[in-house]
Amino acid sequence: MTTKREKLLRLIRGEDPGEILVSPLIDSWVLPDRTQKAYNPDEEDEYYSAYVLQGPLEDQYRMGDIVGYEPIAVKQPDWSLGRPSLSWSRQLVGEDPVAKLRAERLTLHTPYGDLSRRRESSVSSSRTIDESTVTMATRHKIIEWYVDECSSCDLEPVKEQIRGYVQVRGERGLLSGGVAAGPWGLFGIVGSDVAGNIYHFADYPNEHRRLADKILEVAKLQASTMLECGYDLIWNGGGTGMSSAAYRRSTSLPYDLALNAYVKSKGGLIYTHDCQPVMSAIREGLFNEQLPSVLETLSPPPAGDVSDLAAARRMLDARICTKGNIEVGRLLEADVEEIRAATLDVIAATKGFRHMVGTGDDVYDGTPIENLQAIVDTAKNYTGRWFATV
């Protein structure tokens, strides 16, 4: 019997998996029935699901077992296991039990001063605000220090954790995650959003490139460690919708290409997540240059701008396995018949290509299991010819 993991790998590599695969982006528990959760961490409370981006792996795979889809679970290794200095401390600074609001301070202690962030959470959402007062010159030193700490990390405790993740995965799906010091993401230290990176390169181009060169090397180390211990996919190369193709080609793209090539040379696969407007990047050929193994989410409006999935899919390289694109707000609120129709639309738009039916972004907490089941049942009972290489 072919396992879920084998089916996913076959599709990504361009082989016929034997059926339409379904893989919504669900990286923490969303089903309304929480009694079915397999794992309940001690620190879980009413705010937990709002700020924890990735829930326990067992829960991620368990939802796939319950609903019947092929999960690609997401879990970042904890590199601070091998270097405690990389860990952010957490302190409660305010709580309003009536309004169900909480504020916490997250702090990273460094030799050059502390980085401080305020996390404000409700029971349904969370945001993090940079409150650091250090200068940009100091932030550059902190980035360099952080990279050096990652480079000198004791890898054995991290490898032990990863092997545990792989054991949980088994053949129930794929295991994916990103490096802690990606060539682009670590510049979050200079600003709390994508705009911070854009302004940083404009103001400090030489320092930006120098630090990116260092970050790339430790990113390779982390990626090879994850692959060596059993990860299937390494996340890299998203965020294209927030800047022009010309800007990306002059800044982050060379680093994305270098890391992608390195991962593939080690036998790994590349997972690119981009839930923003991406049609400009598709038309400009950015994803075809990056050539990720899996590309999600091709988000439809209102979050994204892929209103014609068939046209977007035709513009993408046939070697890219796409994943998407049922809109998550619709999935939360629509009735079962609407979801069945949306699933058929996705299947029709992606016939002949490597594609798994998925969602336009991370599925909302409380999404009805009936709607998720409708996607699976519609895809698995589809009898038309859909795959290119039969």
Supply the DSSP symbol for 364.
P
**What would the two tokens of residue 311 be?**
């046209």
In a domain, 71, yes or no: yes
How far from the centroid of its chain's Cα atoms is residue 190's Cα?
21
In a domain, 65, yes or no: yes
Residues 6+ apart with CB under 8 A from 70: 4, 7, 8, 21, 22, 23, 64, 173, 356
Annotate 20-82 with DSSP letters as a single string. Answer: --B-----S---S-GGG-S---TT--TTHHHH-SS--HHHHHHHHHHHT---EEE----GGGS
In a domain, 88, yes or no: no
In a domain, 351, yes or no: yes
Number of domains in the chain: 1
Distances 180 to 79, 147, 223 between C-alpha atoms, Å: 7, 10, 9
Is the omega angle on the peptide bond into residue 325 within 30 degrees of 0, that is, cis?
yes
* Residue numbers of the domain that contains 209: 4-82+136-380
Distance CA 376, CA 356 (A): 11
Count of Cβ atoms closer than 10 Å to residue 58 Cβ: 15
In a domain, 32, yes or no: yes
What pairs with residue 89 in β-bridges? 107
pLDDT digits (tens), the chain, 390 positions: 899 999 999 999 999 999 999 999 999 999 999 889 888 777 778 888 788 878 899 999 999 999 999 999 999 999 999 999 999 999 999 999 999 999 999 999 999 999 898 999 998 888 888 888 888 899 899 989 999 999 999 999 999 999 999 999 999 999 999 887 654 566 666 555 555 677 788 888 899 889 889 989 999 999 999 999 999 999 998 877 777 888 889 888 898 999 999 999 999 999 999 988 999 999 999 999 999 999 999 999 998 999 999 999 999 999 999 999 999 999 999 999 999 999 999 999 999 999 999 999 999 989 999 999 999 999 999 987 766 643
In a domain, 99, yes or no: no
**What would the two tokens of residue 309 be?**
């999935």
In a domain, 121, yes or no: no
In a domain, 190, yes or no: yes
Domain of 143, CATH number, reads 3.20.20.210
Distance CA 222, CA 181 (A): 8
